[in-house]
């Protein structure tokens, strides 16, 4: 079979399918009558039943075209299935006939429109053999491909192109940026991308039913040029009709319509639907959810929008654990109701015990009991009310704390990357340590924070940045002190190579406390370092200000840093080398009179769908009294 060349011009037909809410991948793509994308009933021989037909296949591509040969072999089912028998002679011939289309499509993706393909079964062209042909068993199959010349774009144009957007958020990548311009290789995928981008440019400006009205794509074989003209039909400008919510069982449909943030009469924008989808997904109450656009725009310009949901069961519980050779084992469990009053309110009850293995004496273990309530959609769809009460007994080498803390406030999501919070906090606790003895503290204050997060993956980032800043002014009643506590943390990730199998990651955290002395400040307001998420190789919160006899207290300044080099050896196994460092100072502004503590080590990662399972081993480089010689840490997710 050979691409026809009797005419100097041949037509290219390109089809795009649209689905509600977005431009879908191509539903069909045909070139010179060859079906390249989408399902076609006669594309495979899966339904053919017969005696197994064994075959051998010899695949040859003329010229020095290793890349093209690799793509062709990837498209060929004869080559892919060469180690297993076909479903009878008819099944083998059907497979071969399907390969003509698949191989031709692979050539077109490389911009080659003048090639030839020959598939010989027992020395005869497969296209000429009837399905009931009797074949030897096994039979020799030869696939011979001449890729032909590479075609370049000659004339390219888009008629009725969308005007430049007024709003920069409506900007869409230009077809020319994808290679749709004269002199570039005329790959079939570039034509398809040009159509998709041209449609999306209109949709971003409110034309929900924009489509390609006509395509005029001509291949000139005497000059190896492909001329392409796309004519767009934007249709009528659309405005959102009231959102119709379907499929709810326990949750209030009017609340969901409000949570979309879509106002009736608002100009259609696919970005608004995308933001609404993310906002509703954060409610964590749906098993499935999708927006469906109406088929037609009304005479008044209104476009019907349906939100179709399938709810999860409202109650959920879970258990987890952690272990390090320094801090022992920990167990935790939680119970959650994710639609308490019918508007996606979440109540979470949790319990935790840690310090196991190191000790089983009740007074030497750490306990935590807590309750958190979240009410979404307060004032705006992106604002949540959050409150919590936590009772805790914390047993550390530096101190023992028994107390309760509570907070109530709001969180707000400004964009996909930026979020903030503000809350009123208060707490009372009793502390016991070897330096100051028993002390009681009662604190009330404000806590504000802002987070910027552009990481591509929260548990295993390969690129992006994370930054968090917090400010906590508070007043302590027992000693009558006003104070302020602030922290700033930044993380950066850079992946090397196209697949980013090697990632360099870094973290820096700085903290300061101003106001009272260390002796008149609750230890949980002071700074400590050490542990699996801080400076590995040292115990949890075991780096502080030394006061003699191996004892430490918290400091009023903190500097922490980490650097990691992560390498993925296989798709499921990764290796990590790291160095951590931490400094805790007695002054609000570090004067570096205390030691900088450094830990180095390596780790193993097992990649799962929930994130990597982490096993780290670290050695402290400047051990003090009580520090281990080596520490092991187990957890889920990267260290940072």
Over the chain (640 residues), the average pLDDT of each successive run of 10 is 35 30 36 48 46 91 85 93 90 93 93 93 92 90 93 95 90 93 94 95 95 92 94 95 94 95 94 94 94 93 95 91 74 94 95 83 87 96 97 88 96 95 96 91 97 94 96 96 97 92 96 94 93 88 86 93 95 95 93 89 91 92 83 88
CB contact at 8 A, 160 and 231:
yes
Identify the pLDDT of residue 66. Answer: 78
Helix (H) or strand (E) holding 86: strand 86-87
Return the closest-CA partner of residue 434 out of 512, 544, 330, 527. 544
Please give the Cα distance from 567 to 578 (Å, whole number).
12
Identify the pLDDT of residue 424. Answer: 97
User: How does 71-82 read in b/e, with b if 16+ C-beta sit within 10 Å?
Assistant: bbbebbbbbeee
Identify the pLDDT of residue 50. Answer: 61
Side-chain-side CA neighbours of 21 within 13 Å: the count stands at: 14
Helix (H) or strand (E) holding 441: strand 437-453
Please give the Cα distance from 36 to 31 (Å, whole number).
7
Give the number of other CB atoms < 10 A from CB of residue 299. 7
How far, in whole angstroms, is CA 445 from its chain's centroid? 36
> What size, in residues, is the chain?
640
DSSP for 265-322 reads TPBP-HHHHHHHHHHHHTT--EEEEEEEE-SS--TTSEEEEEEEEEEPPSEEEEEEEE
CA–CA distance from 151 to each of 74, 108, 118, 184 (Å)? 22, 9, 21, 9
Cross-strand bridge partners of residue 603: 576, 616
HEC profile of 185-230: ECCHHHHHHHHHHHHHHHHCCCCCCCEEEEEEEEEECCCCEEEEEE
* CA dihedral over 195, 198, 201, 202, signed as positive or negative: negative
Give residue-wise pLDDT tens across range 109-127. 999 999 999 999 999 999 9
Q: What is the pTM of this model?
A: 0.78
DSSP for 445-456 reads EEEEEEEEE--S
How far, in whole angstroms, is CA 415 from its chain's centroid? 16
Tokens standing for 144? 């011979």
Return the closest-CA partner of residue 540 out of 549, 551, 550, 532. 532
* CA dihedral over 418, 511, 489, 531, signed as positive or negative: negative
At which residue do the structure tokens 């039943």 appear? 49
CA–CA distance from 567 to each of 462, 536, 606, 618 (Å)? 11, 19, 12, 18
Return the closest-CA partner of residue 26 out of 41, 36, 11, 34. 36
Identify the pLDDT of residue 627. Answer: 79
CA–CA distance from 433 to each of 177, 395, 622 (Å)? 65, 10, 24
Residues 6+ apart with CB under 8 A from 615: 603, 604, 605, 632, 633, 634
Give the number of other CB atoms < 10 A from CB of residue 626. 12
Give the number of other CB atoms < 10 A from CB of residue 539. 21
Please give the Cα distance from 636 to 125 (Å, whole number).
57
Please give the Cα distance from 200 to 211 (Å, whole number).
9
Please give the Cα distance from 229 to 14 (Å, whole number).
11
Please give the Cα distance from 361 to 355 (Å, whole number).
10
Give residue-wise pLDDT tens across range 479-515. 999 999 999 999 999 999 888 999 999 999 999 999 9
Identify the pLDDT of residue 30. Answer: 52
Please give the Cα distance from 327 to 311 (Å, whole number).
40
User: How does 4-13 read in b/e, with b if 16+ C-beta sit within 10 Å?
Assistant: eeeeeebebe
At which residue do the structure tokens 């104070």 appear? 483
């Amino acid at each position: 079979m050979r691409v026809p060349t009797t005419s100097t011009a041949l037509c290219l037909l390109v089809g795009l399918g649209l689905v509600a809410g977005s431009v879908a991948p191509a539903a069909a793509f045909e070139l010179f009558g060859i079906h390249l994308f989408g399902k076609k009933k006669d594309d495979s021989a899966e339904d053919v039943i017969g005696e197994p037909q064994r075959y051998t296949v010899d695949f040859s591509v003329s010229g020095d075209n290793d890349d093209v040969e690799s793509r062709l072999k990837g498209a060929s089912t004869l080559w892919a299935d060469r180690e297993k028998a076909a479903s009878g002679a008819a099944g083998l011939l059907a497979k071969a006939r399907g390969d003509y289309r698949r191989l031709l499509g692979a050539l077109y993706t490389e911009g080659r429109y003048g090639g030839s393909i020959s598939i010989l079964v027992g020395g005869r062209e497969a296209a000429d053999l009837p399905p009931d042909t009797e074949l030897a068993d096994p039979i020799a199959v030869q696939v011979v491909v001449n890729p032909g010349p590479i075609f370049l774009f000659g004339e390219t144009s888009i008629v009725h192109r969308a005007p430049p957007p007024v709003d920069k958020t409506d900007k869409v990548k230009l077809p020319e940026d994808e290679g749709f311009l004269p002199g570039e290789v005329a790959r079939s995928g570039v034509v398809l991308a040009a159509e998709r981008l041209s449609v999306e440019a209109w949709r971003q400006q409110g034309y929900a039913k924009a489509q390609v009205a006509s395509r005029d794509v001509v291949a000139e074989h005497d000059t190896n040029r492909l001329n392409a003209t796309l004519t767009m039909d934007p249709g009528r400008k659309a405005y959102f009709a009231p959102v119709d919510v379907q499929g709810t069982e326990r949750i209030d449909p009017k609340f969901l319509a409000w949570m979309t943030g879509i106002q009736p009469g608002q100009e259609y924008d696919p970005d608004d639907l995308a933001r609404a989808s993310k906002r509703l997904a954060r409610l964590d109450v749906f098993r499935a959810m999708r927006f469906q656009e109406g088929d037609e725009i009304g005479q008044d310009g209104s476009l019907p929008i349906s939100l179709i949901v399938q709810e999860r069961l409202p109650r959920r519980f879970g258990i987890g654990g952690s272990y390090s050779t320094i801090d022992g084992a920990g167990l935790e469990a939680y119970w959650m109701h994710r639609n308490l009053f019918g508007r996606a309110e979440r109540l979470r009850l949790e319990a935790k015990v840690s310090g196991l293995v190191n000790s089983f004496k009740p007074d030497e273990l750490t306990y935590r009991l807590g309750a958190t309530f979240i009410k979404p959609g307060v004032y705006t769809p992106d604002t949540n009310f959050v409150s919590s009460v936590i009772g805790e007994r914390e047993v550390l080498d530096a101190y023992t704390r028994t107390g309760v803390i509570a907070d109530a406030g709001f969180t707000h999501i400004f964009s996909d990357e930026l979020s903030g919070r503000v809350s009123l906090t208060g707490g009372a606790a009793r502390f016991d340590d070897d330096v100051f003895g028993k002390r009681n503290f009662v604190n009330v204050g404000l806590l504000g924070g802002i987070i910027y997060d552009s990481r591509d993956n929260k548990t295993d980032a390969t690129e992006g940045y994370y930054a968090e800043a917090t400010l906590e002014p508070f007043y302590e009643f027992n000693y009558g002190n006003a104070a302020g506590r602030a922290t700033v943390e930044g993380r950066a990730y850079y992946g090397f190579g196209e697949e980013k199998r090697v990632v360099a990651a870094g973290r820096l955290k700085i903290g300061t406390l101003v106001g009272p002395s260390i002796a008149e400040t609750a230890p949980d307001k002071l700074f400590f370092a050490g542990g699996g998420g801080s400076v590995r190789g040292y115990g949890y919160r075991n780096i502080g200000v030394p006061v003699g006899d191996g004892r430490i207290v918290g400091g009023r300044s903190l500097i922490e840093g980490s650097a990691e080099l992560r390498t993925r050896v296989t798709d499921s196994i990764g290796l990590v080398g790291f160095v951590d460092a931490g400094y805790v100072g007695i002054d609000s502004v570090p004067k570096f009179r205390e030691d900088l503590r450094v830990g180095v080590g390596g780790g193993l990662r097992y990649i799962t769908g929930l994130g990597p399972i982490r096993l780290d081993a670290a050695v402290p480089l400047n051990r003090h009294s009580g520090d281990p010689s080596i520490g092991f840490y187990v957890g889920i997710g990267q260290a940072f």
